[in-house]
Chain A
Amino acid sequence: MFAKYGIFFYIYEMNIVDVSTDELIPIEILPVEKTDYKFISKNRYFFNWKEEQNQEVLKLIIKGKNDILGLISYEDIPEEWRFHIRLLTVSKENKGANRKYSKIAGNLIVYLAKLAIRKYGIMGCVSLRPKTQIAQHYIKNYKMKITGMTLSLEVPEILDLINQYENE
C-alpha cells in the first residue's frame, strides 16, 4: 500500500487490481503529454481524446510502464469550488467482464476527489453529467448525489471514497 521515497519517506501508493490474480498493481496518475496523443486512439479509448487537448487531461499507467490504461479530462471551476469530469474512460481491454484490471476509473475519480478537497476543503466537489441512464452506476459505486441532471461527490461521501481507496 505504501511507496518508499528515499531513506525514510513513505507516501500512500495508488493501486489497481489484476482481476485474474487479485494482485495489487502500483500505478501513477500523470498529466497527458502532447506526444501521448499519437497513441490515444478512439478505437482503444472510445472517445476522440484529441478534442480534449486544450483541457486538463490525466492518464493512469502502471508504475514504470508507458501503456495508458485509463484517461480522464476535467475542468476546474474555482468560483464553484468544484472539479467537473468531462470525459472518463478505461482502455478497451479493461472493459467488461473479461477485463484485465479493475479500479481504473475509481482511481481516476479519487485522484480528482483529492485535488478538490486539497484545493477547496469543505466545499470540495467532483461533478459528472452523464448523458445516458448510467447515473445509477455512479450513485451506487461512488455514492454520488443527484441534483437535477448532475451527479456530485461532496463531503462526507467524497472523504469516505478517498479513505476507501487508501485503505484497500
Chain B
Amino acid sequence: MNKKSEEYIDFGVDSRYSTIEEKTSDAVILMQARLERMKNLPKEQIIRTKLIQLKLEMDEFLKQGTLGLSHKFSDFLGKYIDILYTKHAYFSKDLNITPVFLSQIINGHRLASEEFLLKLTVHSEKTFETVCFFNKNTWFQIFYQEKINQLIFRQDEWRSEIEKQVKFSELV
C-alpha cells in the first residue's frame, strides 16, 4: 500500500452506494453469503450472541433511566432463562427455589426477594464470565430502576391517599 492510500485510510471512508442498482445487487450477494455462514454457526456462538444482546438491552434500559411503566426486570429475567434453559423448572432447581415462586416473579405477580436477586447475580456472574463484561450490580439496578419508574409514573394512583396521611403540624 502506498503512502497516499495509507493517509486516506487514516481519515475515514466514503461507503455510500452510487446507485440503487449497486445497493440492490450488493444486498442480494451479501445476504446469500451471510445466510450460508449462519448455517455453520455453532450453538455456543448463538447462545453467546443472545447473552450479549440481552446485556446490551439491559445497559440501554439503565442508560435511558426513567422511561415508563414497562416490566423490564421480569422481561429480562424471562429472556435470560430462555437463552440458557429448555425449561424454567430447571433454572428454579439450579437456584433452589420453587417453580411457582419463579413463575410469579416472571409474571409480575410477586416482587423478587433480596435472596432471589443475590442468587440470580451469582448465576449471571458465572454465565457471563467467559462471554463478555457483565456488571455484577446489573440485576439490582434493573430491579430498582423499575421500582423507581413505577413510583414516578403511578403518582395518580398513590398520591391522593398518601397526601391525606401526611401532616405539617409545625410548618414554618
Residue ranges of A at the interface with B (Cβ–Cβ < 8 Å): 2, 5, 8-12, 46-47, 77, 80, 82, 84-90, 92, 95-96, 99, 105, 114, 117-118, 121-125, 127-134, 136-138, 145, 147-150, 152, 154-156, 159, 162-163, 166-167
Distance, CA A84 to CA B38, complexed state (A): 19
**A-B residue pair count with CB separations less than 8 angstroms:** 134
Q: Which of A90, A95, A121, A162 contacts B132 (CB 8 A)?
A: A162
Q: A88-B12, A99-B10 are in contact. Are A9 and B141 (CB under 8 A)?
A: yes
Are B15 and A86 in touch, CB under 8 angstroms?
yes
Interface residues contributed by chain B, number (CB under 8 Å): 42
B163 in contact (CB, < 8 A): no
Q: Which of B1, B26, B52, B135 contacts A133 (CB 8 A)?
A: B1
Are A121 and B15 in touch, CB under 8 angstroms?
no
List of B residues within 8 angstroms of A118 by Cβ: 53, 56-57, 60
Residue ranges of B at the interface with A (Cβ–Cβ < 8 Å): 1, 5, 7-17, 26-27, 29-31, 33-34, 37-38, 41, 45-46, 48-50, 52-53, 56-57, 59-60, 62-63, 132-133, 135, 137, 140-141
List of A residues within 8 angstroms of B132 by Cβ: 159, 162-163, 166
| A-B contact list, 20 entries, CB within 8 Å | A10-B135, A46-B12, A77-B27, A80-B31, A82-B30, A84-B15, A89-B12, A90-B11, A118-B57, A121-B53, A122-B38, A128-B15, A130-B15, A138-B13, A147-B29, A150-B26, A152-B30, A152-B34, A156-B48, A159-B52
Least distance between A162 CB and chain B CB atoms (Å): 7
Are B14 and A87 in touch, CB under 8 angstroms?
yes
Q: A10-B137, A129-B17 are in contact. Are A148 and B26 (CB under 8 A)?
A: yes
Q: Which of A121, A125, A129 contacts B34 (CB 8 A)?
A: A125
Least distance between B65 CB and chain A CB atoms (Å): 8
Q: A121-B50, A166-B132 are in contact. List 8 more A-B contacts (CB 8 A).
A: A82-B30, A86-B16, A95-B10, A118-B57, A122-B46, A122-B49, A134-B13, A154-B34
